[in-house]
Amino acid sequence: MENKAELSSLSAHTKLIPCGCKAELSSLSAHTKLMPSGGKIRLALIAGGKSGEREVSLAGAQEVEKALSREKYEVRRYDPATDLAQLVMDAAQIDMAFILLHGPLGEDGTMQGFLDLLEIPYQGAGVLGSALAMDKNLAKIIYRQVGLTVAAWEMARLTDQTNPRRLLERLSLPVVIKPIRQGSSLGMSLARSEEELAQGLVKAFAYDSEVMVEQYVQGREITGGVLGNNELIALPIVEIIPGEEYAFFDYDAKYKKGASKEVCPAELSAELTARAQEIALAAHRALQLKGYSRTDMIVAADGIYVLETNTIPGMTPTSLLPQAAAVHGLPFAALLDRLIELALVEK
């Protein structure tokens, strides 16, 4: 179970927002200049890349570009798969970057480090936080150290693909197999037999050189968003309900229209809601994040288990974090403004 003392200590430094609450966010206008040199913010929208989530990234960028105010921003698009040299050449004419990359070479600290070298501010976590959150094994170690509950897990070996019994001596079926540095459930599978475990390991190792096997936890899947740099705000909790044909919230369940149902605010008790928000805040702090994040959790019979934290969540009006922000009172365009403000105030 979660360490209550650890979680409760956060309350003095954070602001929990009850589900459905539309409290206004404090303005940063006294601390940051939204219109450099009296003109528009020259914003580099970075999307595409080379990961397996390229299409998700491009779809999100299309929605972000559509929502950004033409009166506030001059938007330039860059695809890291082809445009890195151009980004370097344009760096002096860019006020900030909005990173909309998911997975390796975008969400793992690499693009963040590249922008740091170019002295271009960007939204969200820096190099360290991005790298920690992207590595599911390291993130789980950190979660556990700060008193959060996680499912038991083992790191797989290449030899386990042909004989996974070593893993089953430590874990019991069913188990979840995950590449540790992939998003959108790519390479992930649920195994209910030794044969399925072996097949799942082969699949996962095709995506990453390091693979985790995690004890399956039965329960309701929820996610909690966080906004802010130093003063954090916990957004309303969202429950994700995959269709009956999906064993878990996999890639198709995430992105196929109508495959899953999302409920925001989640229909949880006030106590469970507050606990989930505290956990999202605790995970955000433990991983050294800033700007925003979204932590996925399972509400089980014996407590709330942390699955992972996303540092660049999906960014379309119907994505999970924007849904929660909208219920909070922050429509999509205003959410983007807020993330940009948070990036510039750190400049």
DSSP secondary structure letters along 143-162: HHHTT-----EEE--GGGGT
**346 an active-site residue?**
no
Q: State the pLDDT at residue 256.
A: 61
**267 an active-site residue?**
no
**83 an active-site residue?**
no
CATH of 4-148+218-345, picked from 3.40.30.10, 3.30.470.20, 3.90.1520.10, 3.30.450.40, is: 3.30.470.20
Q: State the pLDDT at residue 347.
A: 62
Q: State the pLDDT at residue 346.
A: 74
Q: Which of 63, 308, 337, 341 is catalytic?
A: 308
CATH 3.30.1490.20 domain range(s) in the chain: 153-215
How far is residue 325 CA from its own chain's centroid?
A: 14
**314 an active-site residue?**
yes
> What is this structure's pTM?
0.86
CB atoms within 10 A of CB 22: 11
**308 an active-site residue?**
yes
**27 an active-site residue?**
no
Q: State the pLDDT at residue 318.
A: 82
Residue from 206, 160, 196, 161 nearest 175 by CA: 196
- Rg, Å, the chain Cα set: 20
Residue from 313, 318, 265, 263 nearest 293 by CA: 313
End-to-end CA distance of the chain: 39
Stretches where the chain sits below pLDDT 50 are 1-35, 37, 251
Domain 153-215 bears CATH identifier 3.30.1490.20: yes
CA atoms within 13 A on the CB side of 19: 20
| Greatest pairwise CA separation for the chain in angstroms | 65
Q: Look-up: residue for tokens 């979680």? A: 7
Q: Under a CB-based contact definition with an 8 Å cutoff, are residues 83 and 89 in contact? A: no
**302 an active-site residue?**
no
Q: Which of 106, 294, 319, 338 is catalytic?
A: 294
CATH 3.30.470.20 domain range(s) in the chain: 4-148+218-345
* Planar angle of CA 176, 177, 182, nearest 5 degrees: 120
CA gap 186, 154 in Å, rounded: 19
